[in-house]
Amino acid sequence: MADVDKLDDAAREEVGETGPTLAVLDLSAEGSTWLGGQAGGEAPRVDGQVPLTDLDAARAFLTSTPDSHVLLLVPHPVHDLARALDGGQPLNEAIATSVARAREALAFLHTDQRRILMADRDAAARAPDVLAAAVMKARRIELRVPEGVDPPGEVPKGYQAFALHCFAEDTDLRRLLGEVETVLLPVGRNDRNRSDWEDGVVELARLRAEAARARPLPEIEQQYAALRHDFEVVAQVETTLARQNLALLQALAVVEAERDKLRAQLVPLKEKFATAKERLGARTALLATLKTDLRDAKNKAAGMKDDLLRSQAEIVEKDRRLGAQGQRLARVRAERDAFRLQASELEGRIMALEQSTSWRITTPLRAMRLTRRRSGTD
């Protein structure tokens, strides 16, 4: 077989062919990241490889490019379910999503298994060199991984055990897990992050799927019997762990409900605090304004007090002057009264004189004198 591959490569070089084109489709929950691109963004390009964004693009690529292959990177169903549960997704909804993604990938793979490869996305991200070797061995196509590939995040062991329990206990889910394990490239076999008992459960599911599709062989029957015995022992431990996980999940649900209740109670308290803070700010501003007005009023009162003192001093001065003028007025009045008395006395004397006999006798003389004065004046 190796000689045939060498002859085939030599023939390709002779006719100038560059080999089949490889496209990569990442079906992880983060989107088409191709082992390291930004989630929801455009997948990074590698020379000689085509990054795909969804299954429709992959179908169009296979149709338009006859000599081409597609590498389908899918999340392992157990890890996919564990991550969904860790993210808070309800159990039934998480199982439905993981199963739908796995069945969609299997349906696409079965359309053309000769040109489509499928690998565990997490295992490929942890060991990209092993993934490249598996692709080279399966299709003799060189796979170049983008630079800066980040290893996937660790799947919580509790959720991982519970997810595996869900797949192992349900017949349809167990069959689906076996089908996925059967068609995956052997990249996960080099992944030592899983525990031995988990590998045993997954291997049991894979062998069951192979036994359902192929004619049972003695070796498979022996492996199946041995693994089934081991699995029954492990299943008891796993069931206990699953029950404990369920109890923890229920307790967590109660705690989360209490947390949500406290958060709901905290919302009106925050609103009241904000309102009280606004009122306090308004009252603080009003107090500052009142302090300013009080200071201005005190300054104005001090000025008015100074004006009042000056006015009082002026009033005292005016009272003093008025007292002096009153004294002068009293003296003037006294002099006026004296003059009036003197005038009255003089009038009496004049009246007495005019009524006297001598005044009457001398009346002609006064008249003649007055006449002379007038004549002399004229």
CATH number of domain containing 55: 3.40.50
Looking at residue 185, its amino acid is L
Q: Which residue has the higher pLDDT, 291 or 162?
A: 291
Looking at residues 50-75, what average pLDDT do you find? 83
Domain that residue 26 falls in = 2-153
Count of domains for the chain: 1
Element (H, E) at 32: none
**pLDDT band at 9; cut points 50, 70, 90:** very low
**In angstroms, rounded to a whole number, what is the distance separating the alpha carbons of residues 349 and 357?**
14
User: pLDDT tens digit string along 128-178?
Assistant: 888 888 888 887 877 777 666 666 667 767 777 778 878 877 888 888 888
Contacts of 162 (CB under 8 A, 6+ apart): 82, 85, 241, 242, 245, 246, 249
Q: Provide φ and ψ at 186, rounded to 5°.
A: -75, 55
Decide if 332 is inside a domain. no
Rg (CA), the chain: 60
Tell whether 143 is covered by a domain.
yes
pLDDT at residue number 4: 31
319-323-328 Cα angle (round to 5)? 145
What are the tens digits of pLDDT across the range 311-323?
A: 888 898 888 888 8
Is 75 within a domain?
yes
Q: Please, which pLDDT band fits residue 211 given cuts at 50, 70 and 90?
A: low
**133 found inside a domain:** yes
> Which are the contacts of 248, defined by CB distance < 8 A and separation ≥ 6?
158
Q: Establish if 161 belongs to a structural domain.
A: no
Is 62 inside a domain boundary?
yes
**pTM higher than the cut 0.85:** no
Provide, rounded to the nearest whole percent, the portion of the chain with pLDDT above 70: 73
Instruction: Quote the Cα angle for 206-181-49, to 5°.
Output: 160
Averaged over 113-138, what is the pLDDT?
Answer: 83
For the ranges 61-70, 163-172, 220-229, which has the lowest average pLDDT?
220-229
CB 231 within 8 A of CB 200: yes
CA-CA distances (angstroms) from residue 270 to 78, 256, 282, 283? 42, 20, 18, 20
Task: Determine, yes or no, domain membership for 114.
Answer: yes
pLDDT of residue 43: 47
Angle between helices 157-169 and 171-183 (to 10 degrees): 110
Does 347 fall in a domain? no
The pair of three-digit structure tokens given for residue 257, joined into one six-digit string: 């409900």
